[in-house]
């Protein structure tokens, strides 16, 4: 059966989020019970949004709009055409478009996978003179190849089976890290205070643009986490990475050898990296040293204090963490395989090349 070309407003309700108050960051709007989802939350979510960085109170809700669980969130500024489905009722600003499917016309998962296929094309029409912006008007110029609803649901079920497994593994990884964090808090009754620079080095990463990367097995780390892969590594793993430019003070763990780019530092120390990972992530506060372009000054960061347990306790903590991190690594590798399998099927299913 031939798939019909339909605009988004033919198969669902589509509209921009609301955040009418100026300035948007007014403190009196925040700290309530209503999730407030922003573009960064959508980019980080993957398939479904269950976590968010801020909440609105009643005043925040009054100047916004509460969208229902199951709404597809589409970013139109900053991160263009990133998508994820709300796992909770939530508000979002006008830099996000919401799509709510008509129950007899479309499956929200199918529409989400359409965006996964056509994101690059949508980015190309979002290019502007001042700032890239997709806009609702531009989005409505797209026609989505739309099979009958039962076919949409079959395709979405096949692909979402992969995403559900990925999501479950991510939850397990989070629980494992929380387990290790609880142990860290137990041993973190310090007996010795030192300066951070006395126990570790923050080494600069190396410039490696996307155009200069050759596909390979080694993760490339920027200040937002893994930004790609390369055939060569720069640092032996496991390792700890700290955001230097952009996302200041973010902390990441790499199980394998890795390539840190020039927006991050990587940690070198004689002390357990397992202990330092949790200390840097949960016990340190790093200040932005540049108002124009967020940056972490190395000298300033290394002047922070660090409270150290005994070497015996640190060694015991490392022994406790190793099997936990080993399992986290296994789950991450499983997710890599699941994403590869899904991404092979995605264009074939979404084009009708594989019948269901």
Contacts of 328 (CB under 8 A, 6+ apart): 173, 176, 177, 255
Q: Are 16 and 42 in contact (CB under 8 A)?
A: no
Mean predicted confidence (pLDDT) in 223-242: 95
- How would DSSP label each residue in 172-196? HHHHHHHHHHHHHHHH---SEEEEH
The residue that leads in pLDDT, 126 or 200, is: 200
Q: What pLDDT does residue 100 have?
A: 98
- Residue 139 pLDDT > 50, yes or no? yes
> What pLDDT, in 10s, does the model give residues 38-93?
998 998 898 999 999 999 999 999 999 999 999 999 999 877 889 999 999 999 99
Which pTM value belongs to this model?
A: 0.87
Q: 126 or 37, which is more confident?
A: 37
Span 148-165, mean pLDDT? 97
Higher local confidence (pLDDT), 98 or 188? 98
- Mean per-residue pLDDT, 235-253: 95
Class of domain 190-308: alpha beta
Listed in sequence order, the residues at least 6 apart from 75 whose beta carbon sits closer than 8 Å to its beta carbon are 39, 42, 43, 81, 82, 83, 95, 96, 97, 134
pLDDT tens readout for residues 168-211: 999 999 999 999 999 999 987 767 899 999 999 999 999 999 99
Q: Which of 122, 120, 118 is nearest to 135 (CA)?
A: 122
Q: What average pLDDT does range 145-168 have in this prediction?
A: 97
Q: Minimum mean pLDDT among 67-81, 127-141, 295-309: which range? A: 127-141
Residue 163 has pLDDT above 50, yes or no: yes
- For residue 119, pLDDT beyond 90: no
Confidence (pLDDT) at 25: 86
Mean pLDDT (the chain) is: 93
pLDDT per residue as tens digits for the range 253-298: 999 999 999 999 999 999 999 999 999 999 999 988 765 667 999 9
Checking if the pLDDT of 124 tops 80, the result is no
Q: What is the share, in percent, of the chain residues with pLDDT greater than 90?
A: 82
Domain range summary for the chain, segments of one domain joined by +: 4-144, 147-173+312-356, 190-308
Sign of CA dihedral 16, 19, 23, 26: negative
CB 92 within 8 A of CB 99: no
Average pLDDT over residues 152-181: 97
pLDDT score at 132:
59
**Residue 129 pLDDT class (50, 70, 90 cuts):** very low
- 């080095």: which residue's tokens? 201
> Do 227 and 221 meet the contact criterion of CB atoms below 8 Å apart?
yes
Alpha-helical runs (H) found in 133-249: 136-139, 149-187, 196-199
Fold agreement between 4-144 and 190-308: yes
CATH pick for 4-144 out of 4.10.910.10, 3.40.50.10860, 3.40.190.10, 3.90.220.20: 3.90.220.20
């Amino acid at each position: 059966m031939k798939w019909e070309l339909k605009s988004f407003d033919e198969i669902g309700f589509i509209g921009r989020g609301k955040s009418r108050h100026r300035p948007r960051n007014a403190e009196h709007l925040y700290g309530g019970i209503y999730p407030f989802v922003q573009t960064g939350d959508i980019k980080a979510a993957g398939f479904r949004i269950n976590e968010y960085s801020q909440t609105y109170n009643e005043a925040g809700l009054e100047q916004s709009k509460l969208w229902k669980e199951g709404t597809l969130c589409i970013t139109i500024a900053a991160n263009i055409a990133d998508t994820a489905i709300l796992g909770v009722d939530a508000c979002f600003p006008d830099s996000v478009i919401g799509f709510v499917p008509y129950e007899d016309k479309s499956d929200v998962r199918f529409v989400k996978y359409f965006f996964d296929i056509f994101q690059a094309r949508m980015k190309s029409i979002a290019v502007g003179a001042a700032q890239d912006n997709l806009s609702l008007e531009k989005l409505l110029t797209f026609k989505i190849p739309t099979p009958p609803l039962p076919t949409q649901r079959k395709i979405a079920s096949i692909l979402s089976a992969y995403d559900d497994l990925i999501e479950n593994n991510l939850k397990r990884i989070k629980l494992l890290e929380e387990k290790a964090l609880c142990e860290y808090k137990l041993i973190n009754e310090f007996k010795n205070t030192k300066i951070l620079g006395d126990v570790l080095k923050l080494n600069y990463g190396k410039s490696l643009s996307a155009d200069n990367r050759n596909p390979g097995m080694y993760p490339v780390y920027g200040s937002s986490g893994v930004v790609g892969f390369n055939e060569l590594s720069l640092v032996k793993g496991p390792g700890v990475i700290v955001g230097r430019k952009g996302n200041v003070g973010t902390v990441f763990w790499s199980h394998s050898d890795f390539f840190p780019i020039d927006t991050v530092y990587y940690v070198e120390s004689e002390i357990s990296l397992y202990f330092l990972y949790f200390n840097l992530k949960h016990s340190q506060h790093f200040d932005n040293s540049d108002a124009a372009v967020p940056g972490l000054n190395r000298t300033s960061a290394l002047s922070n204090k660090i409270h150290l347990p005994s070497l015996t306790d640190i060694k015991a903590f490392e022994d406790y963490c190793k099997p936990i991190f080993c399992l986290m690594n296994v789950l991450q590798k499983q997710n890599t395989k699941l994403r590869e399998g899904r991404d092979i099927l995605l264009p074939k299913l979404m084009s009708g090349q594989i019948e269901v």
